[in-house]
Amino acid sequence: MEVIKLDMETFMSLFSLLRPLVVFFVSFSVFHVMLCRFVGARKLSGNDYGHGPPTYPIIGCLISFYKNKTRLLDWYTELLAESVTNTIVVRRLGARRTIVTANPDNVEYILKTNFSNFPKGKPFTEILGDFLGYGIFNVDGELWLAQRKLASHAFSTNSLREFVVNTLEEEVENHLVPVLERSAETAVVVDLQELLRRVAFNMICKVSLGIDRCSLDPSLPVSPLDRAFDMASEICARRGAAPLFLIWKIKKWLGIGSERKLKDAVREVHAYVAELIEDKKKKIGTGDNEMSSNQQDLLSRMIVAGHEEEVIRDMMISFILAGRDTTSAAMTWLFWLLSCHPEIERELLKETSAMAPEKMLDFESLKKLKLLKACICESMRLYPPVAWDSKHAMEDDTLPDGTPVTAGDRVTYFPYGMGRMEALWGKDRFKFKPSRWFNYNRLGGSLKEVCPYSFPVFQAGPRVCLGKEMAFIQMKYLVASILRRFEIRPVSSNRPVFVPLLTAHMAGGLKVLVHKRDVLR
Ligand code: HEM
Ligand SMILES: *[C@@H]1O[C@H](CO)[C@@H](O)[C@H](O)[C@H]1NC(C)=O
Ligand SMILES: *[C@@H]1O[C@H](CO)[C@@H](O)[C@H](O)[C@H]1NC(C)=O
């Protein structure tokens, strides 16, 4: 489509032209809803099944929604806690009927039992489609299944695990530790979240693309790929949060504003990834990719397997998005929680130091770090990197707790709220208490098997996060190597704020001072 360039004035006049349209659209939907209500003559209480926010005809829960706009996570959590089955129905003018659940039976039903009735759905894939194309993250049905099979194969090989650990070692010893040492010597404040984010970005670039581009040095800007990625994902996240769907569609159609930027950013990402694929193909063609098969990145594996270029490109983009901000957010919250719980930090230090100092962390020794695993899970229980995730019902259905689902409804499972349900975690649910992950709630025993539908931070069922194991390896390795060498002290004693976008993070990062520990124990 031709892109129309507009100056501000034409834009404003265009906007006033559009205004009657918007007014018409809104009054039409009000009329439409009224008509439906009249015909259906439904009585509205909290809502028509179980609990929910105060709901009125036509506007739904619009009023309380706007009042609670800045604290939606906690508002939903409170409402869910009040509901007998930990499930609520939210109806609001301008949004589709949404069922939010923190009930493990419902979650299992949506994510596994009747998986095929709860795809991501068009409302979701449309928002991310321009950026992610037909990548695994953004498709349903056959398109998804084919990529899932392909990628699970690549992800599950033991050699990949070794590759991940070797890559981590290189990244930590040669890049991360020097940066932290320098900041310890000069007593300069660093943003730990940004530093960990860059490490995670490098890791995912190396493991999936086989490249090394971004610098960890906080005084240097991020790589162009990282920046374009940031831009594209942020604009997509804002698309999803826009009060009126029409607005971004119009902007896209006109090729202006944020949609213009999105287009440029996506073009940049595409060109860059395409170039990498070309390079890699040449190397493989000339036998120059001298790495042995157990040191290979995902891109090489995909090319050797003979997949189409566009499929590979979209898949790589999905991987980068999935692996970029999630682990860094989880680790940042853990470091903050540890700083508030010195007694646990001491125990953890004991565990990670128990390995001889000269011993590098290999895949086997990482498996033995049980308390560390418990701490990571406990941190993600309270601050899940993906706070909520939605599906869209294909057909009418009924959830196990009796909540009726209508075709087209948004059905949201809610890890953040689930981590805070008394029914699941007991009275001390708000407390950071790693011992709850051990049998008999005692540190040092064996770890409990926790039902994935009660703790769906990685989702669960057929579409469970593909990078789950890789993420644990990465987080354990990084937290253990930082903790053994450095003391991390946040400079502010204020409680950080949890911001859920596409993925959640700590608002403003985590500013810390770094001290070297006396002995490398
Ligand atoms: C703590 C870190 C992580 C968390 C909490 C997490 C969580 C999730 C969640 C909730 C989903 C489902 C999203 C949805 O379907 O809407 C998902 C999917 C996925 N994740 Fe992760 N993730 C993490 C790290 C990673 C890493 C490091 C990778 C590596 C590349 C990765 C790769 C993927 C992929 C490829 C999918 C799509 C799977 C599919 O649709 O079949 N994740 N992850
Ligand atoms: C949030 O919504 C509830 C209804 O669920 C309402 O009573 C309350 O006033 C709202 N909170 C704020 C901060 O306005
Ligand atoms: C699953 O969903 C379909 C609609 O697609 C519905 O007819 C069926 O009753 C549901 N239940 C089970 C257990 O499959």
pLDDT digits (tens, 9 = 90+) for 130-143: 899 989 989 999 98
Residue 50: pLDDT band with limits 50, 70, 90: low
352 three-class SS: helix
For residue 152, the model assigns a pLDDT of 84
Where do the structural domains in the chain lie, given as residue ranges? 1-42, 94-516
For residue 34, the model assigns a pLDDT of 45
* Secondary structure element (H or E) that encloses residue 100, with its range: strand 98-101
Per-residue pLDDT, averaged over 373-392, amounts to 96
Which residue would you say has higher pLDDT here, 215 or 480?
480
For residue 201, the model assigns a pLDDT of 87
For residue 16, the model assigns a pLDDT of 45
Residue 11: pLDDT band with limits 50, 70, 90: very low
Pocket of ligand 1 (CB under 6 A): 136-137, 148, 204, 318-319, 322-323, 326-327, 330, 385-386, 389, 457-459, 463, 465-467, 470-471
Task: Tell which residue, 474, 465, 503, 475, has the closest CA to residue 155.
Answer: 465
Average predicted confidence (pLDDT) for the chain: 83
pLDDT digits (tens, 9 = 90+) for 244-289: 667 788 888 888 888 888 888 899 889 888 888 888 888 887 766 5
Closest approach atom of ligand 1 to CA 136: 40
Residues 6+ apart with CB under 8 A from 146: none
C-alpha to C-alpha distance for 241 and 237, rounded to whole angstroms = 7
Closest approach atom of ligand 2 to CA 79: 5
Per-residue pLDDT, averaged over 482-504, amounts to 91
For residue 349, the model assigns a pLDDT of 93
For residue 359, the model assigns a pLDDT of 63
CA atoms within 13 A on the CB side of 73: 20
Does the pLDDT of residue 350 top 80, yes or no?
A: yes
Q: What percent of the chain stands above pLDDT 70?
A: 84
Does the pLDDT of residue 194 top 80, yes or no?
A: yes
162 three-class SS: helix
Q: In what order do the strands lie in the sheet with 87-90?
A: 87-90, 98-101, 410-413, 389-392
CA 17 to chain centre: 39
C-alpha to C-alpha distance for 298 and 327, rounded to whole angstroms = 19
Closest approach atom of ligand 3 to CA 117: 5
DSSP 8-state code for residue 263 = H
For residue 295, the model assigns a pLDDT of 58
- Binding-site members are 465
CA–centroid distance, 392 to ligand 2, in Å, is: 27
pLDDT digits (tens, 9 = 90+) for 414-442: 999 999 999 999 999 999 999 999 998 88
Ligand 3 contact, 226 CB (< 6 A)? no
C-alpha to C-alpha distance for 423 and 430, rounded to whole angstroms = 13
The CATH class for the domain spanning 94-516 reads: mainly alpha
DSSP 8-state code for residue 95 = S
pTM of the model: 0.87
Across 25-39, 99-113, 408-422, least confident range: 25-39
C-alpha to C-alpha distance for 196 and 475, rounded to whole angstroms = 10
pLDDT digits (tens, 9 = 90+) for 203-256: 888 888 877 666 666 666 777 888 888 888 888 888 776 666 677 888 888 888
Cβ(414)–Cβ(76) below 8 Å:
yes
Does the pLDDT of residue 332 top 90, yes or no?
A: yes
Tokens of 263: 């287009």
Residue 328's identity, in one-letter code, is: S
For residue 358, the model assigns a pLDDT of 56
pLDDT digits (tens, 9 = 90+) for 439-468: 988 887 899 999 999 999 999 999 999 999
Cβ(249)–Cβ(240) below 8 Å:
no
Task: Tell which residue, 390, 399, 465, has the closest CA to residue 123.
Answer: 390
Cβ(252)–Cβ(131) below 8 Å:
no
